[in-house]
Structure 1
């Protein structure tokens, strides 16, 4: 029986990865920060030496996007330098590594810049037109992160590529799963106390259901089709459209108002366009994830 080490088991993705590995007969060894502190290089090496796994799926990360702007050193330590330490351990043991990355490595301007839109005009009408310009990012497109979180995750990507040959870098976005708080949970919680909600409509991307992603990650671990991949549920939406679908599926009667990004200021900048092409998955005979709407329906029914 192969031993697979999974970091971040208290998170949404790590939880579902462990369940998928168990289902397929692997010995899933889940780690949290109490067992392996990602800020401690010696501890990382000791854990790998003690366990001697046959593969690593690295789900753990510093994901507080706004807080990262004020905690740059910690974010770099967890999202970049710890990845370097883990990749070195994987190299020494000659095992494959899956590194979970993010749409935030991109600046979100693909299709906007190409259509000579120099500045985004913050009106709903204009941004509805602007969204039509958004083009899909491919795995080979130039990265240009616009916040600390995105920059440190890309630094992690670079360490994985520089150190390893047997690796998968898997970029995901807008994650939701049953083991932790997420956008769906937040919307349903807020709807209990409010008659209407304002939700951003000019940021577009793809939700990713961890229950759908986990089997794909294990499929990758069982193959040798290494490289960088985009893996989200199929289709695209804005946060506003995401929220509308959640309430429709849940049968919640609430007014949802579309707003622009500048109407909801945050510490960290977010990309407008997080559309990521999944053609590479298909071309390498990996499963494409089902539609995001189907995933949302499944999730809402499960949490009921």
Structure 2
């Protein structure tokens, strides 16, 4: 199987490089033309969507996995055109090529397509109502993929993190080592989801004998707030020797931490359809965190 991977340098893309490797040949692409380890790869510039068809023509993949996206939620409010090119226009170009070639496309979306006013876990066919440019552009990308008419697997996920790249977990570990007191939002609720889990599920689904096409919610199971996630991070960091001491984590409201883009207060996605359709069992967010933290070296460990 020849897999073309867009966005290989992101936190999900790096995990996909690992998870997809056993499936065959993975042609990795990044905007810079180099991977995180400095090795060269193909160039795919999502700021120039029209250039992507030529790359697809040259590679002739058997399956395409699109993990590239404009994810700077706050910056998107002032940079709408760039967010739209990367999150809507580029996926549309890719999806139309895949549809014409009969190639399945895996595409990732977000909990931000919902307005966060719910009180139960969102189902895939619940009404969407994004609050900001990021969510609007990601929803437009979903629509473009569906409109192309080819076989597609859209995975909506949320609160993605890893032991590498820029994310909430790494930010907490950094500032937690520097400060005695942290203030973390407690009135936004969702499901922390390891990038490795998303990548592993993607690899499993691509080996599924069925020809399913549609939209699924791919997150860990359960729910917590950012404040609850932070406390769990610090508890495990201390237990694993990653931090010698942990800060006090004060709970604050969203109003106490204003941002340019509005965030959905309720981001819990129902992952039951994914588990049923593909025979999967998704772990709790707590178990997912344990697995990620197990890969982080204790403080003071010598590394090369």
Same fold (TM over 0.5): yes
Structure 2 partner of 1:212: 197
Structure 2 partner of 1:261: 254
Aligned length: 279
Post-superposition shift, 1:211? 1.1
**Cα contact 2:100–2:150 (8 A) shared by 1:** no
Structure 2 partner of 1:137: 122
Matched, 1:271 2:264: yes
Correspondent of 1:38 among 25, 37, 46? 46
Structure 2 partner of 1:233: 220
Q: List per-residue Cα deviations over 1:31-90 (Å, max 9, x = no partner).
A: 001301112234201100110000011000000000000000111011000111111111
Structure 1: segments with no counterpart, 5+ residues? 111-133
Q: Which runs of 4+ in 1 moved over 3 A?
A: none
Matched, 1:245 2:239: no
Structure 2: distance between partners of 1:192 and 1:46: 47
Post-superposition shift, 1:162? 0.8
Structure 2: distance between partners of 1:280 and 1:78: 28
Local SS of the residue matching 2:18: helix
Correspondent of 1:102 among 94, 101, 110? 110
Local SS of the residue matching 1:284: helix
Local SS of the residue matching 1:243: helix
Change (3 A) 1:158 1:25: closer
Structure 1: distance between partners of 2:71 and 2:152: 22
**Cα contact 2:112–2:263 (8 A) shared by 1:** yes
Residues 22-61 of structure 1: pairs in structure 2 closer than 5 A: 22=21, 24-34=22-32, 35-61=43-69
Structure 2 partner of 1:124: none
Structure 2 partner of 1:80: 88
Structure 2: segments with no counterpart, 5+ residues? 33-42, 239-244, 298-304
Change (3 A) 1:179 1:164: farther
Local SS of the residue matching 2:295: helix
Structure 2 partner of 1:160: 145
Structure 1 partner of 2:284: 291
Post-superposition shift, 1:281? 1.2
